[in-house]
Amino acid sequence: MAAKVEVVLKNVAETVGEGPHWDDKTQSLLSVDIMSNDVHKWTPETNEKSKIHLNDFVSLVVPSEKNDYIIGLGKSLARLDWNTQKVTVLHEFDQNVSTRFNDGKCDASGRLYAGTMGLEKAPCVLEHECGTLYSYGVDGTIQSHETKVTISNGLAWTQDNKTMYYIDSTPRKVYVYDFDLASGNMSNRRTLINFPDYEPAETMGLPDGMTIDTQDKIWVACYSAGRVIRFDPETAKILQVVKIDALKTTSCCFGGKNLDELYVTSAKAGYTEEEFRTKDPLAGSVFKVSGLGVKGYPAYPFRG
């Protein structure tokens, strides 16, 4: 059965649609529009849509066990109460450096991993190697795991929690680490997938957001290539390519009642109005891919 791709939220993001997160508890899809400073929530069952506008770039949104959300807000991590829209900053990172948070996710213990990147002058035009991958523990413990990161991006863990995957978009690499869940330590970094090895470049783009399925295969959104690629981490071979009708594909997550639908976000930033109309009219939309024959796991909430 061929996968079916449909637009579920047309042009919902004005700038960079990112960070899709399926909230299993509320059966809703969370996402952000980074440069518009907006967090979006959509419940497919009722088609109810809501949005909260904030006062800085918002780059990630993860539910917490306290029924609020952890967000990346500029270079801070903060709590967001959806009902009151109250924001409580937890910690500001990267003092004296012009950065912002990008992608973030929780591991199985409920510890949040989130990385920073330099502020962009234009899409993908930024100072290199000034970002850091951090973790923020349930008790507020902060660890730094990677430095000299350019565009901190996709994160995923295998089901046994012994392996972690992480993307830095600009060198176009997916890295793999040995992972220790108890301490949160990442070690023995190797390059798992080097995008330049899979030329031509225009068919691959930049590796952006990422998710993992129940077979421990990774799905990588390919920015500027309009596709999501499923890779086998054992062999680094391409298993499946899903074409998305928006070139600037940014990230993906599994969702839906059975976690067998792949939700894909995309960006509109960087286009003139004419380029948007003529070249990429669905830019900024959220897509749903069904009929893939695989499913994901429920995403972990922040446990603090």
Catalytic residue among 68, 94, 208, 213: 208
Domains recognised in the chain with CATH numbers: 4-290 (2.120.10.30)
The mean per-residue pLDDT over the stretch 13-29 comes to 97
Annotated ligand binding at 18? The verdict is yes
pLDDT given at position 226:
97
Q: Please tell me whether 208 is known to bind a ligand.
A: yes
Q: What is the pLDDT of residue 292?
A: 98
pLDDT of residue 203: 85
Tens digits of residue pLDDT in 237-255: 999 999 999 999 999 999 9
Model pLDDT, residue 126: 86
**2 pLDDT more than 90:** no
Length of the chain: 304
User: In the sheet where 76-80 sits, what is the strand order?
Assistant: 58-63, 69-73, 76-80, 87-92
CB 213, CB 298: distance < 8 Å: no
pLDDT value, residue 1 = 63
Residue 96 pLDDT grade (very low, low, confident, very high; cuts 50, 70, 90):
confident
Residue 44 has pLDDT above 80, yes or no: yes
Q: What is the mean pLDDT of residues 34-63?
A: 98
- 208 catalytic per annotation: yes
Task: With a cut of 90, say whether residue 275 has pLDDT above it.
Answer: yes
Q: Residue 125's pLDDT is what?
A: 82
**pLDDT surpassing 70 at residue 208:** yes
Would you say residue 47 has pLDDT above 90? yes
Residue 96 in marked binding region: no
The answer to whether the peptide bond before residue 281 is cis (omega within 30 degrees of 0) is no
Residue 201, pLDDT > 90, answer: no
User: Is 120 assigned a ligand-binding role in the annotation?
Assistant: yes
Q: What mean pLDDT comes out for the span 72-83? A: 97
What's the pLDDT at 138? Answer: 96
Q: Which residue has the higher pLDDT, 2 or 222?
A: 222
Reply yes or no on whether the pLDDT at 169 is more than 80. Answer: yes
- Distances in Å between the Cα of 92 and the Cα atoms of 89, 96, 193, 205, 284 are 8, 11, 32, 32, 29
pLDDT category at 95 given cuts 50, 70, 90 is: confident
SS3 279: helix
Quick: pLDDT tens for 111-167.
Answer: 999 999 999 887 778 889 999 999 999 999 999 999 999 999 999 999 999 999 999
**DSSP symbol at 268:** -
Give the chain's end-to-end CA distance (angstroms, integer).
42
Give me the mean pLDDT over the 84-94 stretch: 97
Picking from 46, 47, 62, the residue whose alpha carbon sits closest to that of residue 298 is 62
